[in-house]
Amino acid sequence: MLQTLSDMALRVCDAGSAGIGLVETDTDGTPIFRWVAVSGACLAAVGSTIPIAESPGGVTLELATGQLFSFP
């Protein structure tokens, strides 16, 4: 289901890539996103992680609303 949503976001936003990351905690306690569904140019990122503070998704969480990034 998450992959279908990512694919739909890619099409609806006419984007180069789209993805869904789930919030987890790394072994050192750092909050991270694990990319569980990815579409488009960043498809190879599926399964990888990124610290929340270093990702566009961190901005989304901070603002508590959806974001469309033209140049993340």
Which comes out higher in pLDDT, residue 69 or 49? 49
Question: Cα separation of 3 and 65, whole Å?
Answer: 21
Number of domains in the chain: 1
CATH number assigned to the domain comprising residue 43: 3.30.450.40
Which comes out higher in pLDDT, residue 51 or 71? 51
pLDDT band of 72, cuts 50, 70, 90:
low
- Residue 69 in domain: no
Q: At residue 42, what is the residue type?
A: C
Residues 6+ apart with CB under 8 A from 31: 23, 24, 25, 51, 52, 53
* pLDDT for residue 66: 84
Domain that includes residue 53, residue range: 2-63
* pLDDT for residue 68: 80
- Residue 51 in domain: yes
Tens-place pLDDT, residues 19-60: 999 999 999 999 999 999 999 999 999 999 999 998 888 988
